[in-house]
Copies of this chain bind each other. A is one copy, B any other.
Amino acid sequence: MAEKKVNVAIVGASGYSGEELVRLLLEHPHVNLSVLTSRQYAGQTMTSVFPRFAGYNHAADLKFSSPSIDVLSEKADVVFLALPHGIAAEFAVPLANKGVTVIDLSADFRINDAAIYKEFYGNEHPEPQWLTKAVYGLPEIHRAAIANATLIASPGCYPTSILLPTIPLIKKGLIDTNHIIANSMSGVSGAGRNASLPFLYVECNESLRPYGVPKHRHLSEIEQEMGIANGAPVTIEFTPHLVPVSRGILTTLYLKPPVDHSNDFTHWIKSVTECLEDFYNDETFVRITGNKRLPDTKNVTNTNTIEIGWASDARTQRLRIFSAEDNLVKGASGQAIQSFNIKFGFEESIGLKI
């Protein structure tokens, strides 16, 4: 298999997620980057836009082009879409219909239910029949489905940081699903590589601000996946905040025991601990720090690892779980490559830093 190379295209390769895909895939031993598209930089060499990649093999040969379904389907076995939501669907469906594997980093196919999509994104979904065919690309939860998917909807950065710590507990009935609070802080790259006043250096430096409450779009996929794990709908509180780092998401989850665990706090904490440790014991990219050390984004930036740790509070009989990830890697491009590895039968960690 060492010789096998997959032809890979990246559509929207000049945004932050696209750039991160380029960075990671240039070093992936089984990838041949065949097409990079960028409307903004079409015609320019990739290294003129991203000089830091100049030293990579073959980087000098790469040029941005305008995206074309025909060219993509001809030259690529798999297409990563790093496009704004709404636009991704225009590429995903025709490509998937031609049998090309599509790994979509946008939100376009993350929601199973067209009504929920409309509620959160404001418009009718253009291709609702694909909503159920697409697989939500959270490898630790949907690995088997990813291996067989044609269209993989790679999760959002916030959802990844919230779902991985909670889904195992929800599945086992270990937390009260009427009381899930997710408080997240994100670095500015989460806002994308778009010239926009609120994300200028001077506007973000020395600024701490909440936004997108009470109904950030990521809530829709978070609650969907929690609902699947729960076997019944889940509604949560989620608050994103913008803080002055380039990369990283730190999520703090406030949780309490379900009724049938509320009499023995120590036992509950033990069950939670065992559940998470067992669930993630064999996972390459989940580092359980438990109650030994609290997560810190500094430990995970530029890697595909998510740290998960917790602190029980005997005073309130409640639990806080913390997760730290790189929003552009485990929260976006790294995770998409993890799904790619699964789908194409490569070792899951190939091309990714742990």
State which of B206, B236, B296, B305 has its C-beta within 8 Å of the C-beta of A246: B206
Q: How far is the CB of A339 from chain B (nearest CB, A)?
A: 19
Contact (Cβ within 8 A) B202 A193: yes
**In the complex, A171 has a CB within 8 A of chain B:** no
Contact (Cβ within 8 A) B287 A185: no
Q: Mark A196-233, 1 if CB is under 8 A from B, else 0.
A: 11011111111111110111000000000000000000
Q: Residue on B with the closest CB to A301?
A: B206
Residues from chain B with a CB closer than 8 A to the CB of A204 are 201
Q: Residue on B with the closest CB to A324?
A: B208
Q: Assign chain A's interface to a size class.
A: 35 or more
Contact (Cβ within 8 A) B200 A315: no
Number of copies: 4
Which of A48-56, A67-75, A127-135 forms contacts with chain B? A48-56
Q: How far is the CB of A46 from chain B (nearest CB, A)?
A: 13
**In the complex, A295 has a CB within 8 A of chain B:** yes
In angstroms, Cα B204 to Cα A248, docked, is: 13
Say yes or no: A207-B302 contact (C-beta < 8 A), given A287-B54, A289-B51: no
Lowest 7 CB-CB distances: which A-B pairs, in order?
A55-B354, A214-B313, A208-B250, A207-B298, A201-B204, A209-B296, A188-B201
Which residues of A are interface residues toward B (Cβ below 8 A)? 16, 48, 51-52, 54-56, 181, 183, 185, 187-189, 193, 195-197, 199-211, 213-215, 235-237, 239, 241, 243-250, 252, 254, 284, 287, 289, 293-303, 305, 307, 311-316, 318, 320, 322, 324, 353-354
Q: How far is the CB of A51 from chain B (nearest CB, A)?
A: 4
